Amino acid sequence: MPGLADVLKRRIAEHGPITVADYMTAALADPEHGYYMRRDPFGRAGDFITAPEVSQMFGELIGLTCAEAWQAMGRPESFQLVELGPGRGTLMADALRAGKVVQGFNQAARVSLIEISPALRAKQKDALAGLAQHPPQWLDDFSKTPEGPLVVVANEFFDALPVRQFVNTRDGWRERLVTVGKTGEFGFGLSARPPTRDEAPRAPINAPLGSVFEVCPAAVALVAAIAGRLSRHSGQALIVDYGHDATALGDTLQAVKNHRYAKPLEGPGEADLTAHVDFQALKRAAGAAGAQVFGPIDQGRWLTALGIRVRADSLKKASLGRAREIDAALKRLIGGDAMGRLFKALALASPGMPKPPGFV
Ligand code: SAH
């Protein structure tokens, strides 16, 4: 059976070079060969470790902020608790466990998991067994979430959405394309025509030659859809990811395999491919669609304000043998040289909702 590289090479030979976004979509989500479609990439034995896999504290604190949002919403009898790209289901499991302390929260929550990968859906099902009071539902797209009050969480989801890249050339901006070189390997090329205003909105005018400018239309559309819901129903959304809060230039497409950086154009479907999240673009889209916007705030500051140190202390007291492990996890989640600064939290809320906890 031909692998994804062969499939893409044939496609390029027949129809011409493809955009970076098309390449990323195929590499991650091709139904047959996509990176997420078959495997569980997380954990020590996998390719990378995400915050909920580092420690239960992450999901627990998020669960408590969700419960607080539900209370601020006026404790609706039922609401959609939505997670985008739940991975192994660890975050939602920890959130529901922690949410038990707020009476009525778990009873009201209708869990919707937005997940394309059948392999990960199965993992999530196992992780949530016995925790959700109503059977969770799996959807492949946020737009299918039932209308009504909602609380949304997304950790390391937006970085997996496909970006388009544009390069500043002597002739102006041109889209970066993936093509196949004379040696038969993938390489980058450029589009012949300039991008339209819609394709590359806000491309800087005075960027140095060779600069790369990225846009993520799928992220902007998704945030606009979430914010649109929040303008019609009460609720909140929490987006945690790594990225930048100022319009930045630079090629942030990166591949990770076995906890190491790999080449993005080598072995599509075999490594995780991500790009930094442009929080400014998300804020703009959310505000325009009628939601309040808070942050982004560095993950370290946010988790500290949520009381992660207190939680770590009580965990250590409860299991003395694990003190070192808990301290290491704490450092990893909030340390400026670990995930504390690169990762950021952004909250969206419906008009009238208070500022979510932690957004100091
Ligand atoms: N939130 C998890 C996993 C992050 S990895 C954690 O923090 O551990 C990204 C997740 O998003 C995976 O579950 C992946 O299968 C899913 N995913 C990626 N692209 C998607 C898409 N377009 N639609 C739905 N799910 C997607």
Q: How far is the CA of 326 from the centre of ligand 1 (A)?
A: 26
Beta carbons of 329 and 57 less than 8 angstroms apart:
yes
Write out the two tokens for 64.
């408590």
Distance, in Å, from the CA atom of 157 to the CA atom of 18, rounded to the nearest integer, reads 23
Nearest CA to ligand 1 atom 13: 87
Per-residue pLDDT at 303: 98
- What percent of the chain lies above the pLDDT cut of 90? 92
- What percent of the chain lies above the pLDDT cut of 70? 99
Whole-Å CA distances, 7 to 96, 210, 319:
41, 30, 51
Interval 103-124: pLDDT, tens: 999 999 999 999 999 999 999 9
Q: How far is the CA of 208 from the centre of ligand 1 (A)?
A: 34
Per-residue pLDDT at 2: 73
Q: How far is the CA of 299 from the centre of ligand 1 (A)?
A: 19
* Best mutation site among 37, 115, 239 for ligand 1 pocket (most ligand atoms within 8 Å of CB): 115
Q: How far is the CA of 83 from the centre of ligand 1 (A)?
A: 9
- Would you place residue 92 in the very low, low, confident or very high pLDDT band (cuts 50, 70, 90)? very high
**Pairing mode, if any, of strands 137-139 and 150-155?**
unpaired
- Would you place residue 1 in the very low, low, confident or very high pLDDT band (cuts 50, 70, 90)? low
Residue 360 forms beta bridges with which residues? none
Would the pLDDT of 43 be above 90? no
Would the pLDDT of 156 be above 70? yes
Q: How far is the CA of 203 from the centre of ligand 1 (A)?
A: 28
Mean confidence (pLDDT) of the chain: 95
Would the pLDDT of 47 be above 90? no
- Would you place residue 333 in the very low, low, confident or very high pLDDT band (cuts 50, 70, 90)? very high
Nearest CA to ligand 1 atom 21: 116
Beta carbons of 187 and 179 less than 8 angstroms apart:
yes
* Best mutation site among 157, 159, 238, 343 for ligand 1 pocket (most ligand atoms within 8 Å of CB): 157
Nearest CA to ligand 1 atom 6: 87
Pairwise pLDDT comparison (47 vs 26), residue with the higher score: 26
Interval 296-332: pLDDT, tens: 999 999 999 999 999 999 999 998 899 999 999 999 9
- Would you place residue 40 in the very low, low, confident or very high pLDDT band (cuts 50, 70, 90)? confident
* Nearest ligand 1 atom to alpha carbon 85: 11
Q: Is 95 in the pocket of ligand 1 (CB under 6 A)?
A: no
Write out the chain in H/E/C secondary structure.
CCCHHHHHHHHHHHHCCEEHHHHHHHHHHCCCCCHHHHCCCECCCCCECCHHHHCHHHHHHHHHHHHHHHHHCCCCCCEEEEEECCCCCHHHHHHHHHHCCCCCHHHHEEEEEECCCHHHHHHHHHHHCCCCCCCCEEECCHHHCCCCCEEEEEECCHHHCCCEEEEEECCEEEEEEEEECCCCCEEEEECCCCCCCCCCCCCCCCCCCCCEEEECHHHHHHHHHHHHHHHHCCEEEEEEEEEECCCCCCCCCEEEECCEEECCCCCCCCCEEECCEEHHHHHHHHHHCCCEEEEEEEHHHHHHHCCHHHHHHHHHHHCHHHHHHHHHHHHHHHCCCCCCCCEEEEEEECCCCCCCCCCC
The arithmetic mean of pLDDT across residues 234-257, rounded, is: 93
* Nearest ligand 1 atom to alpha carbon 114: 24
The region of weakest confidence among 67-76, 216-225, 278-287, 314-323 is 314-323
Distance, in Å, from the CA atom of 359 to the CA atom of 18, rounded to the nearest integer, reads 40
Per-residue pLDDT at 48: 83
CB neighbours (10 Å) of residue 258? 10
The region of weakest confidence among 1-5, 183-187, 319-323 is 1-5
Per-residue pLDDT at 258: 87
What lies within 8 Å, CB to CB, of 27 at 6+ separation is 4, 34, 35, 268, 269, 271, 273
- Would you place residue 45 in the very low, low, confident or very high pLDDT band (cuts 50, 70, 90)? confident
Whole-Å CA distances, 166 to 23, 148, 218:
15, 38, 16
Q: Is 86 in the pocket of ligand 1 (CB under 6 A)?
A: yes
Distance, in Å, from the CA atom of 220 to the CA atom of 206, rounded to the nearest integer, reads 24
In order of their start, the domains of the chain are 59-162+215-253+272-307+344-349 (3.40.50.150)
- Would you place residue 38 in the very low, low, confident or very high pLDDT band (cuts 50, 70, 90)? confident
Interval 200-229: pLDDT, tens: 988 888 899 999 999 999 999 999 999 999
Would the pLDDT of 194 be above 80? yes
Cα-flanking dihedrals φ and ψ of residue 101, to 5°? -70, -15
Distance, in Å, from the CA atom of 193 to the CA atom of 87, rounded to the nearest integer, reads 39
Q: How far is the CA of 155 from the centre of ligand 1 (A)?
A: 8
* Nearest ligand 1 atom to alpha carbon 53: 8
Q: Is 50 in the pocket of ligand 1 (CB under 6 A)?
A: yes
Q: How far is the CA of 84 from the centre of ligand 1 (A)?
A: 7
Q: Is 52 in the pocket of ligand 1 (CB under 6 A)?
A: yes
Q: How far is the CA of 240 from the centre of ligand 1 (A)?
A: 12
Q: Is 343 in the pocket of ligand 1 (CB under 6 A)?
A: no
* Nearest ligand 1 atom to alpha carbon 90: 8
Residue 178 forms beta bridges with which residues? 18, 188
Q: Is 156 in the pocket of ligand 1 (CB under 6 A)?
A: yes
